[in-house]
Copies of this chain bind each other. A is one copy, B any other.
Amino acid sequence: MPRDVQLLEKGFSPGKALGLFAKAHPEAGGIASFVGKVRPDGDVKVLQLISYDRLTLPGMETLADEVETRWTLDGLLIHHRTGHMRPGAPIVLVAAAARHRRDAFEAVDFAMDHLKSRSWFWKREKRGDGWHWIEPREEDHEDAKRWDV
């Protein structure tokens, strides 16, 4: 299955990436996708995502392997930012093209749950009073646990 897994150091356009993905998979009956952005909450000025070369992208590839094993897809895209981002900037785009709708949905849902809680990223936010390290929300852990067999 063709897949496109990238760790991006610069800003990107999810709409453009999705358009290219759809073009690359004319045979798919449906494409499910999710775009996650830096929430313009409170007084967060900058979000920094830190990745580690030896683990982060390899971990994303391993996740893609697992998604491919679990669902029948025509194509899978996982793009994730690293580095500094401002509120409103896209962080992650996951898209799955499949013959059957449910496969596409579940593949994206699963990949997002894992990216949000189990992927090799470390995060800090710059607020009015300086930088703060962020740990995953309990909700994200619970989301990921839904898939554990």
| A interface residues, how many (CB within 8 angstroms) | 33
Contact of B32 with A39 in the complex, beta carbons under 8 Å: no
* Chain B hits for A108, CB < 8 A: 32, 105
Contact of A40 among B26, B30, B100, B105 (CB under 8 A): B26
Indicate if the CB atoms of B40 and A36 lie closer than 8 Å: no
Q: Is A18 an interface residue (CB 8 A)?
A: yes
Kindly provide the distance from the CB of A134 to the nearest chain B CB, expressed in whole angstroms: 14
Give the residue name and chain of the B residue nearest to A100 (CB): B139
Query: For residues 22 through 39 of chain A, which have their beta carbon under 8 Å from a beta carbon of chain B?
Result: 22, 26-37, 39
The answer to whether B18 touches A40, judged by C-beta atoms less than 8 angstroms apart, is: no
Knowing A15-B19, A22-B14, A143-B102, say if A29 contacts B34 (CB, 8 Å): no
Chain B residues near A99: list those with CB within 8 A. 39
Instruction: Find A39's partner among B29, B39, B143 (CB 8 Å cutoff).
Output: B29
Which B-chain residue is minimally distant from A38 (CB atoms)? B29
**Docked-complex contact B105 and A34, CB < 8 angstroms:** yes
Q: Closest residue of chain B to A105, judged by CB?
A: B109
Partner of A101, one of B19, B22, B36, B104: B36
